[in-house]
Amino acid sequence: MSTVNKAGLEDVVVSTSDICFIDGREGRLIYRGYDVDDLAVQSTFEEVVYLLWYGALPTKKEYDAFYKTLSATATRRLPPKLVALLRGLPKKTTPMEVLRTGVSALSAFDPDDPDNSREAEIRKAMRLTAQMPTLVAAWERIRRGKAPIAPNPKLNLAANFLYMMFGKKPTDLAAKTFDVALILHADHEFNASTFAARVTAATLSDMYSAVTSAIGALKGPLHGGANEQVMAMLEEVGKPERAAAFVEEAFQKKRRIMGFGHRVYQRGDPRARHLMRMSERLGQAAGAPEWYQISQKIHAEVQARKQLLPNVDFYSASVYHVLGIPRDLFTPIFAVSRVCGWTAHVLEQLANNRLIRPRAEYRGPAPRGYVPIDRR
Ligand code: COA
């Protein structure tokens, strides 16, 4: 038995996959052969979902049929009993806990649940992708004592989410910005939450259990939680003029600056470049340029001092904040996008399944005799 002597499985290749390639040296992210730089500029989130699940870009006819089902009210709507369940939760329940609980509960309402055929699994993936935004927006309203807003089938997933959150149609710029943010978060190879989803799927459990596992893994601050901490930092800094002193002090105290550095990308995270431009444009249009300006200053100071570059979480914080999204929804939003990647990986795992069951190198006590309790 060989031993992989790497804490956290760093750089260990555990399986092949056709879905996503991260070129850490060149700073490129590829979904099914397409560069995320091209997808961010030319594609839509719905098309990327199709690409991740089916492995190819859709024809116009395929896209229209797919889009229609994904955006139908019947696909997006939450069962009334699930909304009742949400209303019964304490108002202080965090949105990530609500998402984890709600997704787990949704399996009880899925008509395909006992069917494990690929067609049924795709229908479940479709419902999860369509319903998770409704769930996040519904909780945001319920916890503030407001009634949830029904989905609008005339709006794409990004615009509909903002509509269900705020009760009015977003501007074209806000909707487009959010759509691109969803594209940029859609998949990222074998990250912790995706791996958790695959481990669960590989036991031949079910799609809902796999996505619930993934949400649990994403919830941790070492994975999905960094964007919320970036926002806390921007609020703490407060003004661009304070950025230099803040960064200086953070380095002196050996404090990690959230939203910088990446295990895989050595020459910068390509997603951050798009989010940086979006943060600037959106901030200007919304009359709130200060969040981009503070971010820019911190970026320049950190890069000058330690050659560290921003990752996906850094500029997404100011983007979401200017869109009016509360800080504790930043990680649920990550899940709203990443669910298409998780489910693509579950489909891939099931297509060629083998139970994922590694071994541990035992370092505990040598075999010893049992001592009855009255003689210890
Ligand atoms: N702020 C300050 N210093 C940082 C840093 C950060 N965000 N990220 C890395 N470094 C420094 C480390 O202190 C270390 O410096 P040293 O060699 O002088 O000791 C060096 O860069 C390498 O760091 P290391 O922790 O070995 O890199 P890693 O590959 O294990 O870490 C992250 C990757 C993402 C965990 C790390 O960069 C980090 O904690 N970033 C902040 C959290 C974050 O944004 N997470 C979201 C990731 S998408």
pLDDT tens-place string over residues 240-285: 999 999 999 999 999 999 999 988 898 899 999 999 999 999 999 9
Q: What confidence tier does 163 reach under pLDDT thresholds 50, 70, 90?
A: very high
Residue in this structure with the two tokens 């009334």, named with its chain if needed = 80
| Beta-carbon contacts of residue 71 (< 8 Å; ≥ 6 apart) | 46, 130, 153, 155, 156, 157, 160
In the block, tokens 């990530």 appear at 96
Count of other CB atoms within 10 angstroms of residue 253: 7
Distance from CA of residue 22 to its chain's centroid? 16
The H-or-E segment that residue 104 falls in is helix 95-106
Which residue has the CA at smallest separation from atom 12 of ligand 1? 256
Q: Tell me the average pLDDT of the chain.
A: 96
Tokens coding 200: 């669960």
Question: Is residue 313 in some structural domain?
Answer: yes
Q: How confident is the model at residue 337 (pLDDT cuts 50, 70, 90)?
A: very high
In a domain, 235, yes or no: yes
CA quadruple 328, 333, 338, 342: dihedral, nearest 10: 60
Tell me how far apart the alpha carbons of residues 357 and 107 are, in angstroms, rounded to a whole number: 25
The pLDDT assigned to 267 comes to 87
**Confidence at residue 26, expressed as pLDDT on a 0 to 100 scale:** 94
Grouping H, G, I as helix, E, B as strand and the rest as coil, residue 225 is: coil
What pLDDT was estimated at residue 8? Answer: 86
Per-residue model confidence (pLDDT) at position 104:
98
Catalytic residue, candidates 262, 274, 321, 345: 262
Give 30's strand partners: 21, 35
| pLDDT tens-digit map of 119-161 | 999 999 999 999 999 999 999 999 999 999 999 999 999 999 9
Is residue 4 predicted with pLDDT exceeding 70? no
Task: Check if 223 is active-site.
Answer: no
Give the residue with greater pLDDT, 113 vs 172: 172
The distance in angstroms from the start CA to the end CA of the chain is: 36
87 C-beta closer than 6 A to ligand 1: no
Q: Is the CB of 24 under 6 A from ligand 1?
A: no
Percent of the chain with pLDDT over 90: 92
Mutate to test the pocket of ligand 1, among 22, 231, 247, 262 (most ligand atoms within 8 A of CB): 262
Q: How far is the CA of 231 from the centre of ligand 1 (A)?
A: 18
CB atoms near residue 65 (< 10 Å): 12
Q: Which two tokens stand for residue 43?
A: 């594609």
pLDDT of residue 1: 64
Task: Please give the distance, rounded to the nearest whole angstrom, from the Cα atom of residue 311 to the centre of ligand 1.
Answer: 11
- pLDDT at residue 113, as a whole number: 81
Q: Report how many domains make up the chain.
A: 1
Distances (CA, A) of 211 to 95, 197, 217, 245, 313: 16, 6, 10, 42, 22
Q: Percentage of residues in the chain with pLDDT exceeding 70?
A: 99
CA angle centred on 317, ends 311 and 323, rounded to 5°: 140
* Gap between the Cα atoms of 251 and 139, Å rounded: 38
313 is catalytic: yes
pLDDT above 80 (res 3): no
Q: At what angle do helices 45-54 and 157-166 cross, to 10 degrees?
A: 130
CB distance 260 to ligand 1 below 6 Å: yes
pLDDT of residue 2 exceeding 70, the answer is no
* Cβ–Cβ < 8 Å for 338, 184: no
Check if 256 has its Cβ closer than 6 Å to any atom of ligand 1.
Answer: yes
Give the residue whose CA is nearest to atom 30 of ligand 1: 263
Whether 278 is in a domain gets the answer yes
CATH number at residue 289: 1.10.230.10
Residue 257 placed within a domain? yes
Q: Does residue 245 belong to any structural domain of this protein?
A: yes
Q: How far is the CA of 250 from the centre of ligand 1 (A)?
A: 13
pLDDT digit string, tens, across residues 208-233: 999 999 999 999 888 888 899 999 99
Query: Two tokens at 250?
Result: 């953070």
pLDDT digits (tens, 9 = 90+) for 9-67: 888 999 999 999 999 999 999 999 999 999 999 999 999 999 999 999 999 999 999 99
What average pLDDT score do residues 90-113 get?
97
| Residue 179 reports pLDDT greater than 90 | yes
Helix (H) or strand (E) holding 236: helix 226-237
Is residue 39 in some structural domain? no
What is the domain extent for residue 272?
A: 226-322
**What residue type is assigned to position 196 of the chain?**
A
Asked whether residue 368 is domain-assigned, the answer is: no
Tell me if 53 is assigned to some domain: no
